[in-house]
Amino acid sequence: MTAAYPFQNSPRCTATSKRTGKPCQAPAVNGWSVCRFHGAGGGAPKGERNGAYRHGRYTQETVQACQMLRLYARVVKDTLDQVE
């Protein structure tokens, strides 16, 4: 017996219930392993488009720049310590 609708043959959501431990069984969104209710395609926009954006101090670019600056400072300090 074949399925009457195409979504009946589609992959199923891999999320499980915390309470019962049973799988969701809703069709998974294309390209995702979960359904639309369990986070497929979700997430907030990046940068200034996000409603919680304030000043940019903790953006990925700023954090990486600070890490590189600390690394350079450590290298300079170690070099100067070896000269003395």
pLDDT per residue rounded down to tens, the chain (84 residues): 567 887 788 899 999 988 999 999 999 998 899 999 998 888 888 888 888 888 888 888 999 999 999 999 999 999 999 987
- 50 lies in some domain: no
Residues 33, 5 within the same domain: yes
Total domains in the fold of the chain: 2
- Does residue 45 sit within a domain? no
pLDDT reported for residue 1: 56
Parent domain of 64 = 55-84
pTM of the shown model:
0.48
What is the rounded CA–CA span in Å between residue 1 and residue 40?
30
Cα(37)–Cα(48) distance, integer angstroms: 26
Asked whether residue 82 is domain-assigned, the answer is yes
In a domain, 46, yes or no: no
Is 74 contained in some domain?
yes
